[in-house]
Amino acid sequence: MLPLAHAGHYAIWVFYALPVLVVVGAILKSYVSQRRAKDASPAGGDDREDSPARESPRSETGPAGRKP
Amino acid sequence: MNFLPLAHALASRQDLPVPAWLFAWGASIVLVVSFFALAAGWRTPRFEQLHERPLGAGISRLLLGLPTQVLCGVIGVFLLGFAIYAGLEGTEAPDRNFTLTFLFVTCWLGFPFFSAIFGDLFRPFNPWRAIGRAAGAGFRAIAGQRAAHVSYPERLGRWPAAIGLLAVVWLEVVYGNGGTGFTPENVAVASLVYSLYTLAMMAAFGVEEWCERGEVFSVYFGMFGRLGIFGTRDGRLERRRPFSAATTWAAIPGSAAVVIASISTTSFDGGQEGAFKDGIEWLYDRFLDWGIAPTASLRLSGTIFMLLCFGAVGLIYLLGVRGMRTVPGAPSFAKLRVGFAHTLIPIALAYLVAHYFSFFVFQEQAQFTYLLSDPLGTGTTDLFGTAGSGVDYTILSANAIWYVQVAALIAGHVIGLMLAHDRALVYWPDYRNATASQYWMLAVMVAFTCFGLYLLSVANG
């Protein structure tokens, strides 16, 4: 059983976690609204196939292709 | 760092203008603003090239020439040998013996701090590398050929260093916390065992190969050295753009585990007497209830929390990487995981500075006064006339320590964001997608910042 007498000690967590929750919440909200917009558009589908961005050909040695 | 009490800050914070948790909010706002500033003004990768400028041939010859290499190697071997000797022959009082402060403060903290500015400073002084190279030269002179080595398994990568890093810190903060303490003699014996292990691995796989991948201290200090402004290439000393050499560091498998181990072990050490204390004690009581001996219970509960920290830090990073996968045009998960691992290096450094810089400042006074004059702590030696000196704890105020801690955490995370943004521009040439991918890294950075400040506020408070 966790020591409940120290509940106040743990409660301070909330103040430190709040900025993280706000940022994560904003990201999720943005992600969900983007998904909805994509689903609603007639084109729909997978963005990845339309995207000009492709995996960099500079591979295992890092994006710049340099050895460490 | 539990051989001296209150390692992180030697006085409680006083007279902060606002509650400590508001600093976490302020730091988060700084990160968010930095993120949008990067998105608006940074649209092409800038760190993927080192932008090296070779220094003059004369200074390269002086600093990288054979005489200097030999001299640095001899200094490294001498200091390691002396630390082992002092540990075996000196006093058992940890704060009066040269060994613990030299190895766990001067070297363990000093090399990361200064390498992050000047480049890898450990490499020339690495005693095992010096011995290995000397042995290799001797073998060549006698046998007339290079020693044959076993091919190093590529998949093993830097995992031996990551596990070794966890083991070194475990030995110090968990084993040493097991009631009997971590005596100078323990450290000397551990150093001897590690030296034998390292030399055997160097003989098997080659000196440079093992230093690059498996030797804990070379990999760990070298990681921070990638942030620094000096490096070597083809035998020439060169000046490079700060942080740029970090971009290629994580290409070797297991590198992410090394930097995660660094952040998690610092977090654990910072939290074991603060944020995690109640949890560790609760677990300790459970082990006692199950009939496990007190020392073993203490070590077991500490080990579990340390591994939990490693898992939690790794999980936060992997969640950030997983989030990036949702952005159109994203490379594979494995590629992202490797590709962004170097962005954690400034965070590892920030955690080190935040947790240990005051400890470093205080203990270095001891190192360069009474520990140098009376290294064995016998009370009968006074080599430099400073054996009677003490540590001036008023040199840093409690508030000053707190502000440095906050500044270090913010700076480290902003640099991490910058490196992540730069790398994202390589994977997503469309800067809008690159920015979208970095929302997740922003969340990771905010999480690490708030977590770090929470640990410090509880430890200091």
List pLDDT tens digits, range B89-134: 999 998 899 999 999 999 999 999 999 999 999 999 999 999 999 9
- Please judge whether A55 and B249 are an interchain contact, meaning their C-beta atoms are less than 8 angstroms apart: no
Cβ atoms of residues B272 and B280 within 8 Å: yes
pLDDT value of position B10: 39
pLDDT value of position B181: 67
- Per-residue pLDDT band at A49 (split at 50, 70, 90): very low
pLDDT value of position A6: 54
- Please judge whether A12 and B32 are an interchain contact, meaning their C-beta atoms are less than 8 angstroms apart: no
pLDDT value of position B208: 95
**Closest Cα in chain A to B248:** A68
Q: Torsion over CA of B14, B367, B353 and B125, rounded to 10 degrees? A: 180
The DSSP H or E segment spanning A67 is: none
Q: What tens digit of pLDDT does each residue of B291-339 get? A: 999 989 999 999 999 999 999 999 999 999 999 998 889 999 999 999 9
Cβ atoms of residues B169 and B265 within 8 Å: yes
- Please judge whether A58 and B21 are an interchain contact, meaning their C-beta atoms are less than 8 angstroms apart: no
Q: Which residues of A touch B447 (CB under 8 A)?
A: 20
Assigned token pair, B83: 């630390």
pLDDT value of position B305: 95
- Per-residue pLDDT band at A41 (split at 50, 70, 90): confident
pTM: 0.88
Q: Which residues of B touch A29 (CB under 8 A)?
A: none
Which of B278, B338, B443 minimises the CB distance to A20? Answer: B443
Residues B76, B129: Cα–Cα separation, whole Å = 10
pLDDT value of position B11: 42
Core vs surface per residue B162-171: b (16+ CB within 10 A) or e? bbbbbebbbe
pLDDT value of position A62: 42
Q: Which residues of B touch A56 (CB under 8 A)?
A: 331, 426-427
Closest residue by Cα to residue B102 from B141, B76, B131, B70: B76
CA atoms within 13 A on the CB side of B347: 37
pLDDT value of position B273: 81
Taking 70 as the pLDDT cut, the residues of chain B under it are 1-15, 50, 178-181, 460-461
DSSP state of A30: H
pLDDT value of position B461: 64
Cβ atoms of residues B258 and B217 within 8 Å: no
- Please judge whether B326 and A31 are an interchain contact, meaning their C-beta atoms are less than 8 angstroms apart: yes
Cβ atoms of residues A48 and B408 within 8 Å: no
Closest residue by Cα to residue B202 from B157, B150, B241: B150
- Per-residue pLDDT band at A37 (split at 50, 70, 90): confident
pLDDT value of position A56: 42
Distance from CA of A41 to the nearest CA of B (A): 16
Q: Which residues of B touch A16 (CB under 8 A)?
A: 21, 24, 450-451, 453-454, 457
DSSP state of A5: G
- ipTM value: 0.78
Three-class secondary structure assignment of chain B: CCCCCCCCCCCCCCCCCCCHHHHHHHHHHHHHHHHHHHHHHCCCCCCCCCCCEECCHHHHHHHHCHHHHHHHHHHHHHHHHHHHHHHHHCCCCCCCCHHHHHHHHHHCCHHHHHHHHHCCCHHHHCHHHHHHHHHHHHHHHHHCCCCCCCCCCHHHCCHHHHHHHHHHHHHHHHHHHCCCCCCHHHHHHHHHHHHHHHHHHHHHHCHHHHHHHCCHHHHHHHHHHCCCCEEEECCEEEECCCCHHHHHHHHCCCHHHHHHHHHHHHHHHHHCCCCCHHHHHHHHHHHHHCCCCHHHHHHHHHHHHHHHHHHHHHHHHHHHHHHHCCCCCCCCHHHHHHHCHHHHHHHHHHHHHHHHHHHHHHHHHHHCCHHHHCCCCCCCCCCCCCCCCCCCHHHCCHHHHHHHHHHHHHHHHHHHHHHHHHHHHHHCCCHHHHHHHHHHHHHHHHHHHHHHHHHHHHHHC
Assigned token pair, B298: 């203490």
Residues B22, A34: Cα–Cα separation, whole Å = 32
pLDDT value of position A10: 60
Cα B361–chain centre separation: 17
**Closest Cα in chain B to A25:** B443
Give the bridge partners for B231, in sequence order.
B238
Burial class (CB in 10 A: 0-12, 13-18, 19+), B61: middle
DSSP state of A60: T
Q: Which residues of B touch A68 (CB under 8 A)?
A: 212, 248-249, 251-252
A:B CB pairs within 8 Å: 111
